[in-house]
Amino acid sequence: MNHQFAIIGNGSWSSALVKILTDNGHAVNWWMRSKEAIAHLRNKHHNPHYLSMVNFDMQLIHLFDDLPSCIHSSDIILIGIPSAFIVETLADLPKDIFSNKKILSSIKGILPNENVILNEYLEKEFQVLLQDYCCIAGPCHAEEIAGEKLSYLTFASENIHLSNTIASYFKNHYLQTVISNDVYGVQYAAVLKNIYALGAGIAHGLDYGDNFLSVYITNCFAELQHFMDVISTQTQHHYNTSAYLGDLLVTCYSLHSRNRTFGNFIGKGYSVSATKLELNMVAEGYYASRGIYEICNKINYDLPIAKRIYEVLWKHHPAVTAFKEIEEICH
């Protein structure tokens, strides 16, 4: 069966995924909120604001500014907008719009205020079954996809047939695919690694060196594993946390990492609001830090490192003080 993809969102990661699909000869329906961006892409064949170096094959792209029409025209719906805007974007859609559709999530965050991951929200609001849901994660930056540097992505679903089918559309000479049934683990690991990458950026802004950063990341991974053990009990799903170390490493170390860059500004003394204005971008870890904090309160569990990053970002706790405390946590 030749599936028709809808791409919801036009940020750098969505743009990278469109590049992969069209490089592989697959047609896509691409929804963008901005009519100006649609007009620019139609005329210039590149996204004006994200991965502008990529020239798209417009014969394979059908552009939409009407979200319901884009979804109705497709059978695999790739949701690639930042988690902070998911509820707002989907709010007015008919409750049965995802009936007989497969969902592919490329977001790496928790839905603010809801404090749930995407599959939980879609099940509650749109009756999307877990067997019809797949998510993407992995140590993979959009900028390196644009440059066709060899990358790896994990496609995770409880429905392994669905994971294999969707992954086959993406695999090519610069992208290797990995199949997993660890749909909860993939998503929570992606959430936490963004929080820890913010912390890595804060540490860099505070002038910590690579020696401390290596110890910091090691302790972050241990904290992530312990959290997965608790969540696996809560959800009764099995986890394979060792698969997600690469994603944590690249997000903490890479200069392409939005979360690391955001944190670096915080460590240098910028406020959150000033950092948002300066960078003009969304760092998923910022919103995720509050979501994970709320989840931990609900299940009565403590994540000492993640908690201190939350306190810096949301409670105006001095970064210098927070990292002195983190120094004592790390071993």
Tens digits of per-residue pLDDT, 90-103? 999 999 999 999 99
Q: Which of 45, 48, 62 is nearest to 10 (CA)?
A: 48
Percent of all residues in the chain with a pLDDT value above 90, rounded to a whole number:
64
Q: Are 55 and 195 within one domain? A: no
Estimate to the nearest angstrom the gap between the alpha carbon of 59 and the chain centroid.
Answer: 28
Looking at 181, 212, 232, the residue that finishes a domain is 181
Question: Rounded mean pLDDT of 269-274?
Answer: 92
Residue 265 pLDDT: 95
Q: Are 113 and 231 within one domain? A: no
Q: Are 149 and 121 within one domain? A: yes
Q: In this model, does residue 116 exceed pLDDT 60?
A: yes
Contact 5, 71 (CB under 8 A): no
Q: Are 176 and 188 within one domain? A: no
Q: Are 118 and 252 within one domain? A: no
Q: Are 80 and 29 within one domain? A: yes
Tens digits of per-residue pLDDT, 190-212? 899 999 999 999 999 999 999 99
CATH of the domain at 63: 3.40.50.720
The band of 79, judged by pLDDT with boundaries at 50, 70 and 90, is very high
Residue 240 pLDDT: 55
What span, in angstroms and rounded, lies between the C-alpha atoms of 188 and 230?
A: 12
Tens digits of per-residue pLDDT, 215-270? 999 999 999 988 888 777 666 555 554 457 777 888 888 887 889 999 999 999 99
The band of 278, judged by pLDDT with boundaries at 50, 70 and 90, is confident
Q: What is the 3-state secondary structure (H, E, C) of the chain?
A: CCCCEEEECCCHHHHHHHHHHHHCCCCEEEECCCHHHHHHHHHHCCCCCCCCCCCCCHHHEEEECCHHHHHHCCCEEEECCCHHHHHHHHCCCCCCCCCCCEEEECCCCCECCCCECHHHHHHHHHCCCHHHEEEEECCCCHHHHHCCCCEEEEEECCCHHHHHHHHHHHCECCEEEEEECCHHHHHHHHHHHHHHHHHHHHHHHCCCCHHHHHHHHHHHHHHHHHHHHHHHHHHCCCCCHHHHHHHHHHHHHCCCCHHHHHHHHHHCCCCHHHHHHHHCCCCHHHHHHHHHHHHHHHHCCCCHHHHHHHHHHHCCCCHHHHHHHHHHHCC
Tens digits of per-residue pLDDT, 33-45? 888 888 888 888 8
Least confident of 46-60, 62-76, 227-241, 263-277: 227-241
Q: Are 283 and 240 within one domain? A: yes
Tens digits of per-residue pLDDT, 10-25? 888 999 999 999 999 9
Contact 312, 322 (CB under 8 A): yes
CATH of the domain at 221: 1.10.1040.10
Tens digits of per-residue pLDDT, 135-169? 998 888 888 998 999 999 999 999 999 999 999 99
Q: Are 41 and 125 within one domain? A: yes
Would you state the structure tokens that stand for residue 299, as one six-digit string? 């299940």
Residue 280 pLDDT: 76
Q: Are 147 and 43 within one domain? A: yes
What span, in angstroms and rounded, lies between the C-alpha atoms of 223 and 264?
A: 22
Looking at 161, 181, 201, the residue that finishes a domain is 181
Residue 245 pLDDT: 79
Tens digits of per-residue pLDDT, 279-308? 877 788 899 999 999 999 988 999 999 999
Give me the number of domains the chain comprises. Answer: 2
Average pLDDT of the chain to the nearest whole number = 90
Looking at 149, 181, 213, the residue that finishes a domain is 181
Q: Are 70 and 87 within one domain? A: yes
Residue 238 pLDDT: 58
Residue 246 pLDDT: 77
Q: Are 295 and 213 within one domain? A: yes
Q: Are 102 and 88 within one domain? A: yes
Residue 37 pLDDT: 86
Q: In this model, does residue 327 exceed pLDDT 60?
A: yes
Q: Which domain holds residue 311?
A: 184-329
